[in-house]
Amino acid sequence: MGFIPNKLSDLPAGAAFEGGHPTTHTGNWRIFKPVLNKDKCRNCLLCWIFCPEAVIKKGSDNVEITYDFCKGCGICANECPTKAIEMVKEG
Amino acid sequence: MGFIPNKLSDLPAGAAFEGGHPTTHTGNWRIFKPVLNKDKCRNCLLCWIFCPEAVIKKGSDNVEITYDFCKGCGICANECPTKAIEMVKEG
Amino acid sequence: MIKLQDITEEELLYGSLACAGCGGIIALRMALKVLGKNTVLVLPAGCLMATCGFFPQMAVNVPLVSTAFPSTPSTVSGLVAGLKVKGKEDITVLGVAGDGGTADIGLQALSGSVERGENFVYICYDNEAYMNTGGQRSSETPYGAWTTTTPVGRNKMWEDKPKKDLLRILAAHNIPYAARTSISHPREYMDSVRKAKETKGPAVIHVLAPCPSGWGTDTSKTVELARLAVETGIWEMAEYENGKYKVTKIIKNRKPVKEYIKAQGRYRHLPDEEIEKMQKQVDEYWKAMS
Amino acid sequence: MIKLQDITEEELLYGSLACAGCGGIIALRMALKVLGKNTVLVLPAGCLMATCGFFPQMAVNVPLVSTAFPSTPSTVSGLVAGLKVKGKEDITVLGVAGDGGTADIGLQALSGSVERGENFVYICYDNEAYMNTGGQRSSETPYGAWTTTTPVGRNKMWEDKPKKDLLRILAAHNIPYAARTSISHPREYMDSVRKAKETKGPAVIHVLAPCPSGWGTDTSKTVELARLAVETGIWEMAEYENGKYKVTKIIKNRKPVKEYIKAQGRYRHLPDEEIEKMQKQVDEYWKAMS
Amino acid sequence: MGKREFINGNNAVAYGVKLARAEIVAAYPITPQTKIVEQISEFISNGEMNAEFIKVESEHTAMSACYAASCTGARTFTATSSQGLLYMFEMMQFTSGQRRPVVMANVNRAISPPWTIWLDHQDSISTRDAGWIQIYVESAQEALDTTIQCFKVAENKEVLTPVMICLDAFVLSHTEELVDIPEQAEIDRFLPPFEPDYKVDVNRPLTIAAGTAPNLYMEFRFTQQQGMLKAINLWKKADEEFGRLVGRSYGGVVENYKCSDADVILVTMGSLSSTAKDVVDSLREQGTRAGLAKLRLYRPFPEKEIFDALKSAKAIGVVDRSLSFGFEGSVFSDVKAALYNNNCCIPGVNFIVGLGGRDVTADDLKKMYDKLQYIQKNGKAEQTVEFIGLRWSE
Amino acid sequence: MGKREFINGNNAVAYGVKLARAEIVAAYPITPQTKIVEQISEFISNGEMNAEFIKVESEHTAMSACYAASCTGARTFTATSSQGLLYMFEMMQFTSGQRRPVVMANVNRAISPPWTIWLDHQDSISTRDAGWIQIYVESAQEALDTTIQCFKVAENKEVLTPVMICLDAFVLSHTEELVDIPEQAEIDRFLPPFEPDYKVDVNRPLTIAAGTAPNLYMEFRFTQQQGMLKAINLWKKADEEFGRLVGRSYGGVVENYKCSDADVILVTMGSLSSTAKDVVDSLREQGTRAGLAKLRLYRPFPEKEIFDALKSAKAIGVVDRSLSFGFEGSVFSDVKAALYNNNCCIPGVNFIVGLGGRDVTADDLKKMYDKLQYIQKNGKAEQTVEFIGLRWSE
Amino acid sequence: MQQIRIHGRGGQGGVTAAVIIGGAAVADGQYAQAFPAFGAERRGAPVLAFCKISDRYIRNRSQVYNPDIVIVFDEGLLSVVDVTAGLKEGGMVIINTEKKAEDFPFSNKVKIVTVDATAISLKALGKPIVNTTILGTFCAATGLVKLGSLKKTVKETFAGPLGEKNVMALEEAYRQYKGGA
Amino acid sequence: MQQIRIHGRGGQGGVTAAVIIGGAAVADGQYAQAFPAFGAERRGAPVLAFCKISDRYIRNRSQVYNPDIVIVFDEGLLSVVDVTAGLKEGGMVIINTEKKAEDFPFSNKVKIVTVDATAISLKALGKPIVNTTILGTFCAATGLVKLGSLKKTVKETFAGPLGEKNVMALEEAYRQYKGGA
Ligand SMILES: Cc1ncc(C[n+]2csc(CCOP(=O)(O)OP(=O)(O)O)c2C)c(N)n1
Ligand SMILES: Cc1ncc(C[n+]2csc(CCOP(=O)(O)OP(=O)(O)O)c2C)c(N)n1
Ligand code: SF4
Ligand code: SF4
Ligand code: SF4
Ligand code: SF4
Ligand code: SF4
Ligand code: SF4
Ligand SMILES: [Mg+2]
Ligand SMILES: [Mg+2]
């Protein structure tokens, strides 16, 4: 988790904050959720490389979708050659 | 002769002066002076077109050099195919 | 060519606040995968900076020097020089800017940095408008598109100029390496990034990166549209290298332009005869190129 | 082609304070002869403005709108638009700027005005350095030249980059008309100006205009040197028109590059092997072009 | 009377530009200004407005094009914010130095870094020496009406100075409220066509923006200063005439809101003034003799008018939404400088507020008035510059 | 002790940059600054100096490159004038907002139009709110020494603010005089290497110039202001230390030249101060108690120091070589604002002088002192702003 | 003065809803301000919009800290943001949900009005865009603006058939509340 | 303090001459300022340069209005500019000319020193560049700087053989004056 200042003297000289520390869980922006059907997955990694949020993980036989930062864009489902990913309504 | 202001209310709004009114007689910058030998001139107009100061005039049989603004650069003499122009020291 | 299997799992861009399905994010993420941690990133005003560099959501995990909108290439220049005097020439300096930040307000600085022959990688992610400000026309907005400054009213005002040809402008600079590519072709794109990294001297990549919000398309279609642009022949994949311009992907059976146009809200108003005109232009272009 | 006999005697540029033998003045004078009184001239910072537009020496006899150094093309844009709403579209708007004002600090604005397709004539008089400030390197300074910012000291620092190729950059914009020409060829140059005037849309001319003060040459040699640049093949005369790049003057027996180099103070330091390298490059270029 | 619309400040400016019959509009996007030029491009695309719309590639070009278009005698407008304003700084000075009456809307936004898109006045204030008239507004209605007034004053032959109308980011630019749109005929009566004496004319070839050596330069700057100073009275006249013809006016160059008998007076610019009036009224209800001097015109600085508004106060507070780094708020300095010129040295304090979009509430304003009452009692200010609303004190 | 050279102000700055061991120099030509970077490029080409010399294509790029180079931790310098300064205005603010201690020489030149290349202070003054420290010098020697002091203060961890050293066009930049060049070793003792805490480092990936919402922006600006204000005392210390190590110092931030017992005091900046000292001496010989407060540091504004210098005077005159159009000279406003903060209201008058290169002579200065004596007698100034040396009065 | 806060997501039309409420109030002869929470949020991100309504010209231009009424476009937001933050005592929260008021944990503290606006919208518009639909509920539940003015403003905002459909959706929500209340 | 004004043409090295005088004065242990008339003049145009010399540090930085000594590089300038303008009473004008002092109309008002510097320069340098040559005359006629310092400064200004040649020219002019005086 990135550095959060709580007094003036905490502030860096000029806004310079450590990177790589997303705090807003954009997963809750999602309206539709990508759900993987492992059986259909050929592990071609296309969904993995196209996912804008980098929330798909490589696996040995198939990929895996993590949801904290998945915005539900549906690109993975759209690009999957085997239709292994389905978008289902959240809720 | 261009407009020369001599009171504040003479000044235009923003420096906007009538063009085409040279006042500094750059002829006196000259150290060498182009002198035309009419006999050699074939009226090819090369000196005329190349003169940076526009001080060579067209004529019916040959060109004519005026001196008020001639800086004596020597381009005319250099470019004249018949060597009709000679640069001679002023003074 | 790069294989997906061999690409690192390490993510240097993660958790941005961009719209779902943003093509620009895809472009940046892929590039960082190739370039790795030993990279300094420069981002100017634009969607990527606005969505990756706002405290406390710092989505980029390499040093990120943000800069003014016109200044991506010149900030790159300063970093290259600074890292050089500090003996850190092994670090890749990467500038990433949008089409507006590159082909409009950043063009002069880019031309300067390229002309000076500095050693850097520069990526222009092209979403064909000023998206961060809500979608105004840039010089990369294609003919026929609606934008908020080329609205479609009683007096027709949709964009009436073709795209500025960034690759050819760079080629005219005799740049060591430049490419026109697309996020829909990750292997080709990432291979370009690798080449750019390996180039000694300036290397610029112009990558098509659709914007679902600005183009009026579904978030899931971002990659598909980029692919369609290539497959219809609207977007030529090409490279300039060793003083030569080379088309890198020749599409045998080009899909109809209409398919691409009709899929997008920004072209909704376009009458069919305009689409036919576009088709004709594309056909002529490819005829001339072959 | 234009005949000298037919050219008007009327002088619209007369009595400048430029150095004797200034090539830039020749370029401007010739252009105004073709364009005539129905012209508005834009000049930015640079030798021409400094020597033609200082009160009380107002050497230009058409309306002259002087502007900031980066702003020639954009000032042109404003004038074109203004004259249009005032119903005076018959007036030629002419921007004239140096190599620095065009290829460096004015390039972005030029690219913009060209891309927007506005109707104007633009002339870049190229003296290959920032002359008005005493001769610093610009992106049009040729390889090997000494300038005050590429001095020749213990650590060799003469200019080590080739010239930016303005004509090809404009061609990459698919500009309706552009030309590379030289004051040594008045008929060709003036013909280009005429074409530029007749072009509907942007038209840009890049004209070689030697500077005796900056080049370290005798004032009488200005035209001769420009001619030598063409005759040695160092300066290619060319046009871009109807989407085509065309060499407009093919020199049968090119003079040796050395003749051109040796005539100039700014190359004094150059060792012979450098001149030979230049000769080789020129030869290769022409081979490739034929 | 025209129609009434529920629109925001950006739209309001666009309506003003349309009603003023601007002939040239240069457009470059920047949040939160962009809606102004988008709206204008819609007016044009719908045939409601007749103007050349130049889609430039940068703000430096926007202002260069405006400068040049104005040289042809065309009525010229552009709009920007923040970074865009800074990027055109060179051309701003070109335009003012050459006395071209371009009108520009600046939607006040803070400056980066830290990266920001939110409201403060640092952008326009940091161009305060650039020879532009600056006027600040507090509502969408005032934005519309003032846009029209801008052309009137800018183009006056005695003035011939560009004008920047400043409106607050989001608080005005993006807030919808009820606005009366005047009739075109009313505005045509108020605003005559622009017909400058010095312009591009092939029959009278002028060198515009000529070079002048030290023997003449200073005189040009002196006359420029004279022209600009005239704008103070001419704006008062224009505001009054606007009131007569259109039915609304804004107190000239300094709106004196209950200052005449006030003990404690705040000086404000922009949208804050609106909230502050509420606060003044509620303080008055509680028996505090509070007043508000709303500075509309910041350049030229209405020295006499601000003195008149403040002279009888016992304590004054100047609210700056910006900072002259290394010193204090610029409005504070300028107000004091003006009072000093009138041998007036009322105890005063500077409140720095709302940088980078921090909201300024009625409560904040009340606290400022409290402070002034404290100073009134003490007869002097202990601290001259106070930041209001800082998150931490150390 | 180093050697003595007969050099001009531009050369002197270049020597300062060399002695400071600047690592990055961005260069773009503009008269009358160009000689600075030309001289540096010669130093480099001769192997006397080791730096990256970036031949940029514009000043916006010059400052962008400096900003970025400084982010790598490199000591960074550039130089400009007038139009060049205006063109980099956006990046100036980027550099200061991000607290990068770039040092820049600005050779003060007037602004176009009217087209000009001559001296006045309009360029640097019009950037006074941009968060840069500004220091003005009166001689080539002071230019050299101050250039070195600039790095010292700018890079101080409490300050981290860019500094602009301002020297007058031609009068300093092109005037040769005798200058002592310090030894490298002396300077190395004075000026430690630059080692910032926040810089580009692949092992600690920072987002530099990050975006911050309204919940944090204001705090950054507050700390920036604090840092800048600290430069006042730190400059005094640096000047004193320089004196100790190198043997020359300049009176800190306000040089008090015979002010302590003076009835009439002029406040000046830049080369004029030099001539004015002559005038003060000759007036003193005639029995007039004249003094001169030479303002070296203009931003941060040394409020207390200027008050201390002026407090016992009966009449003060502030000499501005620029104009905040639509108001008065900016130094005048700022001096009054500072006195006001100290409840001090000495009658004062503003002299606007030397715009666009008009020479200011000892006679002119004498007339100003005469005016002050007149005011001293009357107890008040009749007119607050007076243009000196105008060619015509109407 | 009545202050309304709208919770939506970027792209859902929260600002438009605020402007429509304001526009309707104005049509009723009242005064109003409508504005977004000033941010740079993207499509999908939680966003806010505000509306102030009063019978006098509204001079106070600071933000809304203590709303009288809160409208929530999307139940999912409840887990992300505290929609009741600052809500005035006795304030009302209107939520687009399939659930009932009692199902919400804060139902004892504030008045909750629920509506299945998604369902209504899907039926009327064919799309789950609820920003106008929920205004019917708002109108019915608060009475702050007249139904006629609201319909008129919606038609001015969306030209042609789209306007008609939106009005239908709005009316349906209005009816459901009136029926249900 | 002694003030010197030099009239030359752009490109003739007037500023260099002023700087050399100043440099020589400094080498003598005096103080000096040398500067051009601040202008944008081009090669060929009449230009001015100045030098002030004093035994005390020179604080006055305004221009030179009343020179003690005027140096004219080129006789032709006499018809273009008033070289005696502002000259102090008893002041001196040094002119590069073939003529004699008496040939000049203002010879009754000021002290005129003439030298055919062009001839000397052509002989010594092969070029009619007179800026250093005439300094020999200046040195001999005014004694304001020592000949040795002047020679030293010239050699520092022009490296190598060029410096030698310039010194020769300067010495010749010096000799001619001393001989002629
Ligand atoms: C000098 C300046 N002008 C304008 C802006 C406003 N601005 C910020 S981002 C942006 C649009 C960026 O467009 P592009 O470069 O195409 O990137 P995108 O937003 O599409 O990702 C604009 C106009 C600015 N920040 N600075
Ligand atoms: C913004 C800005 N930067 C720098 C300058 C200084 N400047 C004036 S003219 C000039 C050189 C112009 O070079 P070029 O365009 O090649 O024309 P030339 O002088 O060679 O005729 C420069 C650098 C300026 N006026 N404005
Ligand atoms: S795209 Fe489909 S098949 Fe390929 S890895 Fe992803 S889920 Fe599996
Ligand atoms: S829906 Fe979008 S964000 Fe989620 S895993 Fe699929 S591609 Fe990634
Ligand atoms: S160039 Fe020679 S021949 Fe031709 S016109 Fe001139 S003088 Fe006559
Ligand atoms: S010498 Fe030069 S200026 Fe004179 S006439 Fe010949 S070409 Fe023209
Ligand atoms: S607007 Fe477009 S480019 Fe910007 S973040 Fe959203 S999808 Fe990406
Ligand atoms: S310096 Fe060169 S370009 Fe400039 S006026 Fe002189 S000759 Fe012409
Ligand atoms: Mg874009
Ligand atoms: Mg040039």
Q: What is the residue extent of each domain of chain G?
A: 2-177
Lowest mean pLDDT, pick from C61-65, C263-267, E19-23, H158-162: H158-162
Average of per-residue pLDDT across D108-115: 98
* Nearest in space to E87 (alpha carbons), one of E148, E33, E150: E33
pLDDT, tens digit, 9 for 90 and up, residues E259-284: 999 999 999 999 999 999 999 999 99
Burial F98-137 (b: 16+ CB within 10 A, else e): bbbbbbbbbbbbbbbbbbbbbbbbbbbbbbbbbbbbbbbb
* CA gap E349, E265 in Å, rounded: 11
- Split at pLDDT 50, 70, 90, the class of F77 is very high
pLDDT, tens digit, 9 for 90 and up, residues E145-192: 999 999 999 999 999 999 999 999 999 999 999 999 999 999 999 999
Average of per-residue pLDDT across B66-73: 96
Task: Name E386's Cβ contacts closer than 8 Å, sequence gap at least 6.
Answer: E349, E350, E351, E352, E371
Cβ <8 Å between C165 and D171: no
- Split at pLDDT 50, 70, 90, the class of H40 is confident
Cα dihedral C125, C127, C133, C139, rounded to 10, equals 90
pLDDT, tens digit, 9 for 90 and up, residues H79-113: 889 999 999 999 999 999 999 999 998 888 899 99
F319 strand-pairing partners: F351
Give the largest CA-CA distance in chain B: 55
pLDDT, tens digit, 9 for 90 and up, residues A30-80: 989 999 999 999 999 999 999 999 999 999 999 999 999 999 999 999 999
Average of per-residue pLDDT across H110-135: 95
- Split at pLDDT 50, 70, 90, the class of C77 is very high
pLDDT of F214 > 80? The answer is: yes
Cβ <8 Å between B14 and F392: no
Question: Are the C-beta atoms of C103 and F48 separated by less than 8 Å?
Answer: no
Position E166 scores a pLDDT of 98
Domains of chain B, earliest start first? 34-91 (3.30.70.20)
pLDDT, tens digit, 9 for 90 and up, residues D142-199: 999 999 999 998 887 899 999 999 999 999 999 999 999 999 999 999 999 999 999 9
Amino acid in position H162? L
How far, in Å, is the centroid of ligand 10 from the Cα of D25? 12
Cβ <8 Å between B21 and D58: yes
Average of per-residue pLDDT across E76-88: 98
Cβ <8 Å between B29 and H9: yes
pLDDT of H39 > 90? The answer is: no
Q: Is E210 on the interface with B (CB under 8 A)?
A: yes
The DSSP H or E segment spanning A16 is strand A16-18
- Split at pLDDT 50, 70, 90, the class of A1 is very low
Ligand 3 atom with the shortest distance to the CA of A45: 5
- Split at pLDDT 50, 70, 90, the class of E246 is very high
The alpha helices in G70-159, defined as continuous H runs, are 117-125, 133-142, 147-157
Opening angle at CA G39, ends G36 and G43, nearest 5: 90
- Shortest CA gap A16–chain E (Å): 9
Q: Determine how β-strand F4-8 pairs with β-strand F176-180.
A: antiparallel
Which of D17, D212, D219 is the closest to H45 by Cβ? Answer: D17
Which CATH superfamily includes the segment(s) C4-289? Thiamin diphosphate (ThDP)-binding fold, Pyr/PP domains (3.40.50.970)
ipTM (interface predicted TM): 0.98
> Mean pLDDT, chain D, as a whole number?
97
Q: What are phi and psi of H114, to 5 degrees?
A: -115, 155
Question: Are the C-beta atoms of F142 and F152 separated by less than 8 Å?
Answer: no
Neighbour-count burial of D242, counting CB atoms closer than 10 A to its CB (0-12 exposed, 13-18 middle, 19+ buried): exposed
- Split at pLDDT 50, 70, 90, the class of E52 is very high
Q: What are phi and psi of E40, to 5 degrees?
A: -65, -40
Q: What does each of the 181 residues of chain G score in pLDDT, given as a tens digit? A: 999 999 999 889 999 999 999 999 999 999 999 999 987 788 888 999 999 999 999 999 999 999 999 999 999 899 889 999 999 999 999 999 999 999 998 888 899 999 999 999 999 999 989 999 999 999 999 999 999 999 999 999 998 999 999 999 999 999 999 986 5
Position D229 scores a pLDDT of 98
- Split at pLDDT 50, 70, 90, the class of F302 is very high
Position G180 scores a pLDDT of 65
Q: Which residue has the tokens 């790049």?
A: D245
Tokens matching residue A56 = 């798909």
Using DSSP, state whether C223 is helix, strand or coil.
Answer: helix
* Nearest in space to A84 (alpha carbons), one of D280, E64, A76: A76
Asked if residue D138 has its Cβ within 6 Å of ligand 8, the reply is no
Amino acid in position C182? S
Asked if residue C212 has its Cβ within 6 Å of ligand 7, the reply is yes
CB atoms within 10 A of CB A60: 5
> Mean pLDDT, chain F, as a whole number?
97
Enumerate the residues of chain A whose CB falls inside 8 A of the CB of residue F157: 13
Residue H67 region, left (φ>0) first, then alpha (ψ -120 to 50), else beta? Answer: beta
Among all bound ligands, the one having the nearest atom to the CA of C25 is 7
DSSP secondary structure string for all residues of D195-261: HHHHSSSEEEEEEE---HHHHT--GGGHHHHHHHHHHTTSS--EEEETTEEEE----SSPPPHHHHH
* Nearest in space to C264 (alpha carbons), one of C101, C135, C125: C135
Cβ <8 Å between E54 and D78: yes
The DSSP H or E segment spanning H32 is strand H31-36
Average of per-residue pLDDT across H14-35: 97
How many cross-chain Cβ pairs, E to G, lie less than 8 Å apart?
67
The alpha helices in E46-173, defined as continuous H runs, are 59-71, 82-87, 89-97, 122-125, 140-155
- Split at pLDDT 50, 70, 90, the class of E1 is low
Using DSSP, state whether H40 is helix, strand or coil.
Answer: coil
Position A3 scores a pLDDT of 63
Task: Name G36's Cβ contacts closer than 8 Å, sequence gap at least 6.
Answer: E170, E174, G14, G15, G18, G47, G48, G49, G50
Opening angle at CA H71, ends H68 and H75, nearest 5: 140
Chains C and E touch (3+ CB pairs under 8 A): yes
> Mean pLDDT, chain E, as a whole number?
97
Domains of chain E, earliest start first? 3-246 (3.40.50.970), 254-387 (3.40.50.920)
pLDDT of B2 > 70? The answer is: no
Position G181 scores a pLDDT of 52
- Split at pLDDT 50, 70, 90, the class of B1 is very low
pLDDT of E218 > 90? The answer is: yes
Question: Are the C-beta atoms of E339 and F239 separated by less than 8 Å?
Answer: no
Neighbour-count burial of G164, counting CB atoms closer than 10 A to its CB (0-12 exposed, 13-18 middle, 19+ buried): middle
Residue boundaries of the structural domains of chain D: 4-289
Asked if residue C52 has its Cβ within 6 Å of ligand 1, the reply is no
* CA gap D44, D10 in Å, rounded: 24
Q: Determine how β-strand H111-115 pairs with β-strand H92-96.
A: parallel
Ligand 8 atom with the shortest distance to the CA of D222: 7
Which of F98, F196, F220 is the closest to A11 by Cβ? Answer: F220
Q: How far is CA H96 from CA A41, F223, H14, H99, H114, in A?
A: 97, 65, 13, 9, 6
F252 DSSP 8-state letter: T
* CA gap E226, E219 in Å, rounded: 11
Inter-helix orientation angle F89-97/F59-71, to 10°: 10
Cβ <8 Å between E392 and A7: yes
The DSSP H or E segment spanning F25 is strand F24-27
Ligand 7 atom with the shortest distance to the CA of C222: 7
Amino acid in position D228? L
* CA gap G134, G177 in Å, rounded: 10
Residue G152 region, left (φ>0) first, then alpha (ψ -120 to 50), else beta? Answer: alpha
Question: Are the C-beta atoms of E175 and E278 separated by less than 8 Å?
Answer: no
Using DSSP, state whether A61 is helix, strand or coil.
Answer: coil
How many C-alpha atoms does C126 have within 13 Å on its Cβ side?
A: 27
Question: Are the C-beta atoms of F244 and F270 separated by less than 8 Å?
Answer: no
Tokens matching residue C194 = 């690798």
Using most ligand atoms within 8 A of CB, pick from B48, B70, B78, B83 the residue to mutate for ligand 6.
Answer: B70
Asked if residue D135 has its Cβ within 6 Å of ligand 8, the reply is no
Neighbour-count burial of A6, counting CB atoms closer than 10 A to its CB (0-12 exposed, 13-18 middle, 19+ buried): exposed
> Mean pLDDT, chain C, as a whole number?
97
Using DSSP, state whether D96 is helix, strand or coil.
Answer: strand
pLDDT, tens digit, 9 for 90 and up, residues F149-201: 999 999 999 999 999 999 999 999 999 999 999 999 999 999 999 999 999 99
Query: What is the CATH architecture of H2-177?
Result: 3-Layer(aba) Sandwich (3.40)
Position H180 scores a pLDDT of 65
Ligand 1 atom with the shortest distance to the CA of C50: 9
Question: Are the C-beta atoms of E118 and F214 separated by less than 8 Å?
Answer: yes
